Amino acid sequence: MDRGDALARLEEPVDIAIIGGGATGLGTAVEAAARGWRVALLEAHDFASGTSSRSTKLVHGGVRYLAQGNIGLVREALRERGRLRRNAPHLVGELEFVVPAYDWWAGPYFGVGLKLYDVLAGRYRLGRSRFLQREEVLERIPTLEAEGLRGGIAYSDGQFDDARLAMALAQTACGMGAAVLNHAPVVRLLKEEGRLCGVVARDAESGRELTVRAKVVVNATGVFTDGVRRMDAPEAEPVLAPSQGVHLVLPERFLPGNHALMVPRTDDGRVLFLIPWHGRTLVGTTDTPVHEVSLEPRPLEEELVFLLEHAARYLREDPRPEDVLSVFVGLRPLVRAGKEEGATKSLSRDHTLLVSQSGLVTVVGGKWTTYRKMGEDTVDRAEQVAGWEPRPSRTAELRLHGAPAVEEVPEGQLGQRGSPLEMYGTDAPRVQALVTERPELGAPLHPRLPYLKAEVVWAVREEMARTVEDVLSRRTRALLLDARAAAEAAPEVASLMARELGRDVAWEHAQVAAFRERAMASLLPPAPVPEESREQERETLRVQGA
């Protein structure tokens, strides 16, 4: 992907202009481009820079939605899970989950639900759920709290790298002729005789305004949906009830191996996951209603305590605040059930489509797993709004950028198959070729991170990375895996990027400073020192000074 090429393409009128470069917007862009429509996508920051890079990294039907009785959502998500596993095998893998049973009734109770999960998956099933003896549970998860353990249940679901999948979608859309552009916020909508006819965006790098003429405009901005709707109609009533999901990242020792742990019922009635991911242990998530949205939401202290306490109940070694390598927070764009306030965990994860009087098509809600179906439904509605002859969807079997041939897909779990460049799929040899050209690029970016310097150069040349954060947060997942290591790697990343982008030393310094501030926000605040400890320290200093 080339940013200059995208800017040039935006000078021509398009059929559909999409605002928002997260899972929903990118999925819509792929769907529309696959049908042959001319497409432009504009992202205010970076692709998947919001919620879409901060998920629990699961491609799943949603076990807990069964308890809510939302059978339709679960069935649809399981079908889409199977399609995504086939269409992006370099990014989506199978992961076995273990549900521990500490009460005699827990195994049969949760076993029935998981058997239904198998049935709903049908031919897209990844594996059969089954009951486990106590010893089998501990064999799979040796760090599990053994006291009182009676047995458990195993079931299979999908796992992925969300930001890397978003990049594959952007590359897929671009490869089919779409103009996709990051760091280009839409600042106003264009209308003629009361109907939308395009958007005006601002190129954040040059400050230049970009006028994009379009027959249909799609609002796919997630938690910022209501802001775009008010841009269209200032009196528009809010449709969102956003919630916040917090995740902790711990060292691998807390959950070694290739099995995940699912806690089926926490104190507040949700599920909790402990998942192996890229050599780390991911713990999440919370579901806290929020009243204001921001690009960089912060975790609440009670959310951090909740996650640490629940992880400690199920692990032999209690994780401590100092064990946390990183914290990441995402905001879910849930659709209001009504005017009343309430718990967001009970709100539907189905997506909703709205069309304003001016023709603005808004898609909101949903989940990563069903991004493709959301895009399909959105383009169907856009065709209706424009009065076009509908074209059939072509994405159900569309393999995404980087996907190897079906016969080349290896068995195993995501991130456990060997090559550190596995996530690049068929692009991996081209990334490796950079090392052949410049051997110094084969060096690790940081001793505690699984990335090569070549990946920084690739991100700039081929994946439209423009900032240090683009590289360390999303092209690689360094910020999530180890925020301190990512901050330490920032100067090297800035130097490599400056050479590619033609930036000066002042740019490097500004980028490093901005990223380090971002990285510090991804760490737990230091625990307060008890007053008695402070007094003891003061006494020690007095004695030493005597």
The answer to whether 218 and 361 have CB atoms below 8 angstroms apart is yes
Output the six-digit token pair for 546.
């005597």
Output the six-digit token pair for 343.
């718990």
Q: How much is the average pLDDT of 45-50?
A: 97
d(CA 110, CA 14): 50
Query: pLDDT tens digits, residue range 123-140?
Result: 766 778 789 999 999 999
pLDDT at 301: 94
Torsion of CA 444, 258, 172, 470, to 10 degrees: -40
The answer to whether 182 and 25 have CB atoms below 8 angstroms apart is no
Read off the amino acid at residue 169.
Answer: L
Give residue 537's pLDDT band: very low, low, confident or very high (50, 70, 90).
Answer: very low
Q: Whose CA is closest to 185, among 171, 199, 165?
A: 199
Q: Is the pLDDT of residue 463 over 50?
A: yes
Q: How much is the average pLDDT of 11-24?
A: 97
Q: Does the pTM exceed 0.85?
A: yes
Q: What phi-psi label fits residue 257: left (phi over 0), alpha (psi between -120 and 50 degrees) or beta? A: left
Q: Is the pLDDT of residue 397 over 90?
A: yes
Q: Which of 202-206, 350-354, 375-379, 533-537 has the lowest mean pLDDT?
A: 533-537
* Domain range 422-520, CATH architecture: Orthogonal Bundle (1.10)
Residue scoring higher pLDDT (266 or 47): 47
pLDDT at 104: 60
Q: How much is the average pLDDT of 367-374?
A: 94
Pairing, β 14-19 against β 39-42: parallel
> Taking the domains of the chain in order of start, what are their residue ranges?
3-51+163-238+343-386, 91-159+241-332, 422-520
pLDDT at 69: 61
pLDDT at 74: 80
Give residue 347's pLDDT band: very low, low, confident or very high (50, 70, 90).
Answer: very low
Q: How much is the average pLDDT of 328-346?
A: 67
Q: Whose CA is closest to 331, among 371, 285, 372, 369?
A: 285
pLDDT at 536: 54
Q: Is the pLDDT of residue 219 over 90?
A: yes
pLDDT at 412: 43
- Count the neighbouring beta carbons within 10 Å of the beta carbon of residue 209: 11
Q: Reduced to 3 DSSP states, what percent helix, strand and coil does the chain have, rounded to the nearest 5? A: 40, 20, 35
Query: How open is the CA angle 537-538-539, to the nearest 5 degrees?
Result: 90
Q: Please tell me if the domain spanning 3-51+163-238+343-386 has the same topology as the one spanning 91-159+241-332.
A: no
Q: Among residues of the chain, what percentage have pLDDT more than 70? A: 86
Torsion of CA 42, 47, 49, 50, to 10 degrees: 60
Q: Whose CA is closest to 311, among 319, 301, 303?
A: 319
Q: Please tell me the CATH code under which domain 91-159+241-332 is placed.
A: 3.30.9.10
Residue range 3-51+163-238+343-386 in CATH 3.40.30.10: no
d(CA 521, CA 296): 9
Average pLDDT, the chain: 89
Query: pLDDT tens digits, residue range 487-515?
Result: 999 999 999 999 999 999 999 999 999 99
Q: CA torsion sign, 143 to 148 to 153 to 155? A: negative
Q: How much is the average pLDDT of 417-444?
A: 90
